[in-house]
Structure 1
Amino acid sequence: MNKEVIIEKIDDFLIDEFEVEEDEIAPEANLKETLELDSLDFVDLVVAVESNFGVKLSGEDFVNVVTLQDFYDLIERKLG
Structure 2
Amino acid sequence: MSIVDEIQKDIFDYLDSHYGIERDEINSHSALNELGIDSLGLLAIADIVRKKYDIVLDDERIASVRTFQDFTDLLERKVAARESAIPAARATDPEAAAERDHVGTREGRELNRAES
TM-score between both structures, scaled by the size of structure 2: 0.53
Identity %: 34
Whole-Å separation in 2 of the counterparts to 1:38 and 1:57: 16
**Aligned-pair RMSD on alpha carbons?**
2.4
Whether the 8 Å CA contact 1:9–1:52 is kept in 2: the answer is no
How many pairs does the alignment contain? 79
Q: Post-superposition shift, 1:17?
A: 4.7
User: Highest relative contact order (Cα 8 Å, sep 6+), 1 or 2?
Assistant: 1
Specify every segment of 5 or more residues in structure 2 that has no aligned partner in the other structure, as ranges: 81-116
Whole-Å separation in 1 of the counterparts to 2:27 and 2:54: 24
Query: For residues 49-74 of structure 1, what are the alpha-carbon distances to aligned partners after superposition, in whole Å with 9 as ceiling and x for unaligned?
Result: 21332211222112432110110110
Aligned partner letter, 1:33: E
Whole-Å separation in 2 of the counterparts to 1:29 and 1:69: 8
Show structure 1 runs of 4+ deviating over 4 A: 3-6
Per the alignment, residue 34 of structure 2 pairs with: 33
Aligned partner letter, 1:29: S
Whole-Å separation in 2 of the counterparts to 1:17 and 1:52: 18
Q: How does 1:9-48 map to 2 (within 5 A)?
A: 9-34=10-35, 36-48=36-48
Whole-Å separation in 1 of the counterparts to 2:8 and 2:38: 22
Specify every segment of 5 or more residues in structure 1 that has no aligned partner in the other structure, as ranges: none
Larger radius of gyration: 2
Whole-Å separation in 2 of the counterparts to 1:25 and 1:18: 12
Q: Post-superposition shift, 1:15?
A: 2.7
Query: Which is worse superposed, 40-49 or 10-19?
Result: 10-19
Per the alignment, residue 49 of structure 1 pairs with: 49
Q: Secondary structure at the match of 1:30?
A: coil
